[in-house]
Amino acid sequence: MKLPFTLLSPSQENCLPLVFDSPHSGINFPSDFKSEVPLSQLKSGWDAFIDDLWQDAVKVGGHLLHADFSRMYIDPNRAPNDIDPALLDAPWHECQPTKYSERGMGLIRRYALPNVAMYKEPLSRAQIEHRIKHYYQPYHQALSATLAKLHQDFGAVWHIDCHSMKSKGNGMNIDNGVARPDIILGDNLGQAAGAEFVQVVEDAFSKRGYNVVRNTPYKGGYLVTHYGNIKDNRHSMQIEINRALYMNEKAFTPNDNYHNFKQDISQVVKDIADYVSANV
């Protein structure tokens, strides 16, 4: 079976303990996915082009991991037991739904958009276990093995979890209807990444004219909280980019600014790599 992710690695000689991951830029739906929700609506959760925008990470010594499957199938940025029992055809003791499941967007989405249910029929435990085993776990294994190896080799590792956000939240978001800034950095309120590192990332964006906000409304999801451990020199932070900066949000196509924005991201990546390189 083909691996459900792509992992791009730098050359041996310029390898840095720096890892970027994009869990939501995949748009493949495995054949066991049965939903009547049209693709145009399933795309709402797609972090389109994020894997492409961060591509230069590899040139400066970083790794870049991105999922090939859609987060509407299973979401790597959730705890593996963040499952809404209402999705299931029978009780399952494994379910530990969190605030994400309550909003319809747990490990397995219950709603594609507000009031748009993903499934007509309940799912079986076996169907969900299949998604975990063949998609969720391989993604996490690739990420954790990459982070562990770099941490072992360098004594520290810096991880950036890359996302995009709609320019305005909808009814499933905690900031329904509010216009969002250009960039939101999430470090779990200072607990997942060192302050100096987060400042470097903030400066990299703000000096290029972007308005940057920290932790509001996104303080980082499961990936950042799960992999960040400052005491052990494992730094993990999330970057949310406003989609209006580089794409037509309705058509899901690059806009006229795409090329310019991608060049800015390449410069941001360089600043981040310079910081990591000076600290190993």
Residue 157, token pair as written in the block: 């590792």
Burial 136-145 (b: 16+ CB within 10 A, else e): bebbbebbee
Print the binding letters for residues 165-204 with Zn ion: x by CB under 5 A, - otherwise.
----------------------------------------
Distance from C-alpha of 190 to C-alpha of 231, rounded to nearest angstrom: 12
- 3-class secondary structure for 20-75? EEECCCCCECCCCCCCCCCHHHHHHHCCCCHHHHCHHHCCCCCEEEEECECCCCCC
Nearest distance, CB of residue 196 and Zn ion, angstroms: 25
In eight-state DSSP terms, residue 178 is: P
Q: Report the residue number, 88 or 184, with the smaller CB distance to Zn ion.
A: 184
66 contributes a contact to Zn ion by CB under 5 A = no
Residues present in the chain in total = 280
- Say if residues 197 and 237 touch (Cβ distance below 8 Å): yes
235 contributes a contact to Zn ion by CB under 5 A = no
Which listed range, 30-38, 155-163, 191-199, 223-231, lies at the site for Zn ion (CB under 5 A)?
A: 155-163
Distance from C-alpha of 10 to C-alpha of 7, rounded to nearest angstrom: 10
Which listed range, 30-38, 123-131, 137-145, 163-171, lies at the site for Zn ion (CB under 5 A)?
A: 163-171
Residue 240, token pair as written in the block: 């949310």
9-48: contacts with Zn ion (CB under 5 A): 24, 47
82 contributes a contact to Zn ion by CB under 5 A = no
Q: Report the residue number, 16 or 180, with the smaller CB distance to Zn ion.
A: 180
78 contributes a contact to Zn ion by CB under 5 A = no
Nearest distance, CB of residue 47 and Zn ion, angstroms: 4
Nearest distance, CB of residue 233 and Zn ion, angstroms: 26
Nearest distance, CB of residue 166 and Zn ion, angstroms: 11
163 contributes a contact to Zn ion by CB under 5 A = yes
User: CB neighbours of 199 closer than 8 A, spacing ≥ 6?
Assistant: none
131 contributes a contact to Zn ion by CB under 5 A = no
Nearest distance, CB of residue 163 and Zn ion, angstroms: 3
In 10 A of CB 212, how many CB atoms?
Answer: 16
63 contributes a contact to Zn ion by CB under 5 A = no
Q: Report the residue number, 163 or 180, with the smaller CB distance to Zn ion.
A: 163
Which positions touch Zn ion (CB under 5 A)?
24, 47, 163
